[in-house]
Amino acid sequence: MQAKSNQVKRKRGCEEISAKLEAPGSTDTSRVELTSASRPTKIKMSKSLSKDQKDKVKQFTSLTESGDATAQNCLTQNGWKLDRAVDAYYTNPSQFLVAEAKSQPDRRKIESIFQKYKELDRERNAEFILFNGMVRLLEDLRLPVESVRVLILAWKCEAKVQCEFSRDEFARGLLELGADSLDKLNQKLQSAEAELSNMTKLRELYNFTYDYAKQASQKNVDCDAAVAYWGIILSGRFALLDDWIQFIKDFNNNRSIPRDTWTLLFDFVMTVNGDCSKYDKDGAWPVVIDEFVEHIKAKQPKQAADGAVTVEPMEY
């Protein structure tokens, strides 16, 4: 789970900070530069930082993989106390994210990255980052294949085929993210993941995934592919995710997933989630979602005080 990973990172980061602060001769000469604790978005960024503050910005970005503007914003809001700022950032990163000033990425550096991982597809007589190159790229980025950041990269590249980037797609994605090195790409993907707390961004990624997961010759997405991508996108966001995936495996008979089921599941997650008392059985839901709600009600019924049937979300 991402939350558990963040807790581990936060603990590790704070331990590193504490060790530095306790080192002989270390002093804290920072000053509080808060404007108003109740209006953090109005904080004015200082253009001139002391050497101590610059060092803290550098340490913060190294520990959190965030950008300089986000680091300065978080440190400012936390009185330039590095350990407190790192802890606050991992608790709620979206609170401190600042759109980084987009310096134009170097296209030659992006092409150099592509050259490192590309290979010639002889059938198409063109160069692509294919499966083997993708594996090496993810290893260098230290990203597991099931990370949502891998899917975000494909989304930003507007990739048409899974585990494959054309030269144009790869350049488009890195230009969109504002990255021309692997270190920058890691930072930008981390920031893009935090932005998924915005439901519009999350829906855009979710809608992209349907066509990305679908084979070119198919109208619908294979059941196994849909299950895998639901696990990546909806983990930590859908209280009944494990129940839904098990239901699909047990009762869908491996039928492919049509677009309307894929699309409306997102609406179900955003409006109903774990509280099936909010479910309108007369709404325009696909039959499979109707059947899932009935399955859940039969499995874990609980009579509420007002007579409505509710379902307690599973704990994950």
| In-domain check, residue 102 | no
Q: Are residues 181 and 150 in the same domain?
A: yes
Average pLDDT, the chain: 83
Chosen domain end from 197, 232, 255: 197
Q: CA of 311: how far to CAs of 16, 85, 218, in Å?
A: 43, 38, 36
CB 34 within 8 A of CB 158: no
pLDDT at 12: 54
Q: Which two tokens stand for residue 244?
A: 């839904």
150: confidence class by pLDDT, cuts 50, 70, 90? very high
pLDDT at 136: 97
Can you tell me the mean pLDDT for 112-136?
Answer: 97
| In-domain check, residue 32 | yes
Q: Are residues 48 and 87 in the same domain?
A: yes
Q: Are residues 222 and 305 in the same domain?
A: yes
Single-letter code of the amino acid located at 255: R
pLDDT at 236 over 60: yes
Q: Are residues 188 and 226 in the same domain?
A: no
pLDDT at 40 over 80: no
Q: What is the CATH number of the domain that holds 165?
A: 1.10.238.10
Can you tell me the mean pLDDT for 261-269?
Answer: 95
Q: What is the CATH number of the domain that holds 280?
A: 1.10.238.200
Q: Which of 63-67, 91-95, 135-139 has the highest mean pLDDT?
A: 135-139
Q: Are residues 90 and 170 in the same domain?
A: no
pLDDT at 65: 80
265: confidence class by pLDDT, cuts 50, 70, 90? very high
| In-domain check, residue 62 | yes
| In-domain check, residue 253 | yes
Can you tell me the mean pLDDT for 95-118?
Answer: 88
Q: Are residues 306 and 224 in the same domain?
A: yes
* Domain limits for position 65: 2-95
Of 307, 308, 267, 313, the closest CA to residue 289 belongs to: 267
Q: Are residues 225 and 306 in the same domain?
A: yes
Q: Are residues 153 and 184 in the same domain?
A: yes
Strand order in the sheet with 126-129: 119-121, 126-129, 165-166
Chosen domain end from 146, 169, 197: 197
pLDDT at 243: 94
- Distance between CA 290 and CA 293 in Å, rounded? 5
Q: What percentage of the chain reaches a pLDDT higher than 70?
A: 78
pLDDT at 44: 46
**What tens digit of pLDDT does each residue of 280-292 get?**
887 889 999 999 9
| In-domain check, residue 70 | yes
The domain tally of the chain equals: 3
Q: Which two tokens stand for residue 52?
A: 């101590």
Q: Which two tokens stand for residue 191?
A: 């920031």
pTM of the model: 0.66
Q: Are residues 82 and 142 in the same domain?
A: no
Chosen domain end from 197, 231, 262: 197
Q: Which of 34-48, 156-170, 297-311 has the highest mean pLDDT?
A: 156-170
46: confidence class by pLDDT, cuts 50, 70, 90? low
Q: Are residues 111 and 189 in the same domain?
A: yes
| In-domain check, residue 101 | no
Question: For residue 193, which phi and psi values (nearest 5 degrees)?
Answer: -65, -40
pLDDT at 278: 81
312: confidence class by pLDDT, cuts 50, 70, 90? very low
Q: Are residues 81 and 122 in the same domain?
A: no
| In-domain check, residue 316 | no
| In-domain check, residue 100 | no
